[in-house]
Amino acid sequence: MNLNKPLYATNYGAAYVGDSLELLDSVKSDSIDLVMTSPPFALLREKSYGNVEQEAYIDWLFAFCQKVYRVLSPQGSFVIDLGGAYQSKRPVRSLYNYRILIKLCDELDFRLAEEFFWHNPSKLPSPIEWVNKRKIRAKDSVNTVWWLSKTDYPKANVSNVLVPYSERMKKLHENPEKYYKPKERPSGHDIGTGFATNNGGAIPSNLLQIPNTESNSRYIQLCKTVGIAAHPARFPQKLPMFFINFLTDPGDTVLDIFAGSNTTGAAAEALQRSWIAFEQNPSYLAASAFRFLAPNESIEVASALFTKLLAMHEIINIS
């Protein structure tokens, strides 16, 4: 495979079937502004999308990250979403997501610009043995999301991801003298009247609360209607949208090396960023094209598109 033959392309991006370890070699050095991805996690049970055993996971993922470092621009960012896991047959957490972070910073000279935590309030209680049956552990509903960079000052603008003010803050803006009196806090910080300035929104925290509820999305509906399996481990589109808005400008290039159902590409397309998607499973990637169909597109068109994309992949393999 090479980057001259995408499985499909849109106004802003292109999706490629293949192993990212090979496809990354065709990407120019220092050319990608953001790599946003969620690799298969180091889980104990084998999943349909292909996950690696915990013992081998860190070295397996590190090989991809070495190539990511090469293609990332000097002011670019590498954002990697990693879910937690338990050790085999023990109610003790694995440290794999922290070990890979330390390895990337120590051995590849990545910088941890900031750690984020994605809280999925809709996540079901798991693992069953420790949470549901024995009831000795709380529900695991937070993923670690590492924001890494090649320099201390990657491109970033928090003004692009401001969140709505609280009702209390809105009242303060309407009448600062009534709701706030400048004073020194116990921490020693002296907060003056500038605290009451309306900047269009509040600075977000590094705890991102985003429910992962895509059960009624157009992508899921088309997969069900066409009779194919949707990717079982999708993250919500709001997650990549946050980082794309935060860390890139329109026209920048975003890459997902474990694209799955190409949520990252769809987010980049909506935000007018160029995007590249790599996924080794042709069926998952062919179905991801549903994300780019017009809302009123017919089921027949979606089904024909999926069939055509798989046939194209077969021809490419044969040749």
Catalytic site residues? Answer: 38-39, 81
DSSP 241-307: HHHHHHH--TT-EEEESS-TTTHHHHHHHHTT-EEEEEES-HHHHHHHGGGGS-TT--HHHHHHHHH
Give which of 210, 213, 215, 200 is closest to 241, Cα–Cα. 210
Beta bridge partners of 240: none
Distances (CA, A) of 81 to 7, 137, 287: 25, 23, 22
**What gap in Å lies between CA 37 and CA 194, rounded to an integer?**
38
**What gap in Å lies between CA 141 and CA 125, rounded to an integer?**
8
Strand order in the sheet with 253-256: 8-9, 13-17, 274-279, 253-256, 32-37, 72-82, 142-149, 111-119, 207-209
Token match 């803006």: residue? 173
Q: Cβ of 156: how many Cβ atoms within 10 Å?
A: 18
**Phi (first) and psi of residue 242, to 5 degrees:** -60, -50
Q: Is 251 helix (H, G, I), strand (E, B) or coil?
A: coil
**What gap in Å lies between CA 63 and CA 45, rounded to an integer?**
22
